[in-house]
Amino acid sequence: MKVPDKIRSNLISHQVDLLRYEAGLRKDIRDMLVQLGRDLNTALVGAGLDTPRTDWQRARMRALADEAEAKIKETYGTISEAHLGEMEGLVEVSSAGVVTAINEALGADLLIKPKWTSEQLAKLVGNTLIEGAPSADWWDRQAQILTNAFSDTLRQGLLRGETIDQLRDRVIGMDLPGVDAVGKVDLRQVPAQGRGVIWEARRNAEALVRTSAISIAGEAHLAAYEANADIMAGYQWCSTLDARTTPICRALDGLRWDMDWNPIGHDFPYPGPTAHWGCRSFTLPVTKSWEELAREAHGNSRMAKELDKMGPGQRASMGGPVSGDLTFQGWFDGLPEAKQKEILGPKRYDSWVSGNLKFQDMVDQSGNPLTLEQLRAKSA
């Protein structure tokens, strides 16, 4: 395999690890929202609203709305703080991970891992915008959306004369066979009429976790590339093509930019590390050729030493873009069996071998999560 294609393969593997990490983070945050749903349910049942519409009932409704607002604000504050800490750790781990992946493809430690201060980590996370706003602002917005939805649903239900059970269904979600009504199931398994406002809160939170993790990791990757600019010749967009790839990512796949982000052979501006919510694409570094680096290595004993470690095949194929489209299935099929088992987990691997695992389930890493420390160990 040529060096550019090996770099792409290694970075796809790193991207899958990121998806496994964000799957674990989504679960942790979902569990917090599950508990929030239970707390709101307890408050609703104990609020004493099952009385005729009177001033007393309206006072109880206002008290319940205030209690819910405080609990929602507290929960989302905890989520935001935990998420911030995770994202700062992710910057450090992910920037090291891409350096490890690229050096492995080169057969030499040409790239150096960035060193981060706590101030730099906080700045990168705080400055990474998701649809124009940092993730902390999005958590505040989601808390307000849930607070408003809870109050509106409560008010509308009481005006209709609904029972406490009916109010509970509107807020928390209907009890369905085999489904925990406060969130322990894929939303796609629950019909729209069975979803309460907590279901929608969970959906919004999961989308934010995924997009923010991939966006912030992408910014960390760019920081690692910029720290090794003497090795680089430019950048290339990589979308692992499959049925879930969006039209914008299909259009961007394979496009290149120089080190100053000027388009090469096209007029698409660089969209940033992600092109849309839930984006799985990433930016590939295009390295200089071995000959270019060898000429520039005079006076740089470390680089010269590492260049000497590279074999003839790596020297000859280093530099330039990757060699064409690549599907996720095609990439996965080319992996060693041990790596396939690691990505899918033992049970899903057996299902894949027997032909019982759908492609969507291969891409979804919800059942095979990684913690930040596990990701750190893989990136060392």
Q: With beta carbons less than 8 A apart as the criterion, state whether 144 and 346 touch.
A: no
- Asked if 41 and 110 sit in the same domain, the reply is yes
What pLDDT, on a 0 to 100 scale, did the predictor assign at position 347?
78
The packing angle between helices 337-344 and 3-45, to 10°, is 20
* 243 shares its domain with 113: no
Residues 73 and 116 in one domain: yes
Nearest-angstrom CA–CA distance, 102 and 8 = 9
Domain match, 289 and 185 both: no
Task: Count the neighbouring beta carbons within 10 Å of the beta carbon of residue 58.
Answer: 13
Q: Are residues 24 and 115 in the same domain?
A: yes
Q: Choose the final residue of a domain: 208, 242, 273.
A: 208
Secondary structure of 176-220 in the HEC alphabet? ECCECCCCCCCHHHCCHHHECHHHHHHHHHHHHHHHHHHHHHHHH
Element containing residue 233 per DSSP (H, E): strand 232-238
Q: Mark whether 187 and 244 lie in a shared domain.
A: no
Q: Please check whether residues 37 and 69 belong to one and the same domain.
A: yes
Residue 65 lies in a domain: yes
Continuous segment of H or E residues that includes residue 257: strand 256-257
Assigned domain for 226 exists = no
Pairing type for strands 282-287 and 232-238 reads antiparallel
- Euclidean distance between CA atoms 30 and 210, whole angstroms: 12
Q: Does 179 reside within a domain? A: yes
Q: Maximum Cα–Cα distance for the chain, whole Å?
A: 87
Task: Based on the fold, state whether residues 48 and 12 are members of the same structural domain.
Answer: yes
Number of domains forming the structure of the chain: 2
> Which has more pLDDT, 324 or 236?
236
Angle (deg, nearest 10), helices 372-379 and 3-45? 170
pLDDT digits (tens, 9 = 90+) for 9-56: 999 999 989 988 998 999 999 899 989 988 998 898 888 777 666 777
Domain of residue 367: give its range.
232-379
- Residue 224 domain-assigned? no
Does residue 373 share a domain with residue 262?
yes
Model pTM score: 0.83
Under 8 Å between Cβ of 60 and 47: yes
Q: Is residue 218 part of a domain?
A: no
**Of 34 and 307, the one with more pLDDT:** 307
First to last CA, the chain: 24
Whether 18 and 104 share a structural domain = yes
Q: Give yes or no: residues 187 and 260 share one domain.
A: no
Residue 219 lies in a domain: no
Q: For the chain, give the mean pLDDT.
A: 85
Q: Which of 208, 243, 272 is the last residue of a domain?
A: 208
Over residues 74-124, the pLDDT tens digits come to 999 999 999 999 999 999 999 999 999 999 999 999 999 999 999 999 999
pLDDT above 80 (res 57): no
* 246 SS3 class: coil
Are 26 and 163 members of one domain?
yes
d(CA 11, CA 230): 20
CB burial of residue 302 (10 Å; 0-12, 13-18, 19+): exposed
Single-letter code of the amino acid located at 138: W
Q: Is residue 227 part of a domain?
A: no
How far apart CA 253 and CA 275 sit, in angstroms, is 11
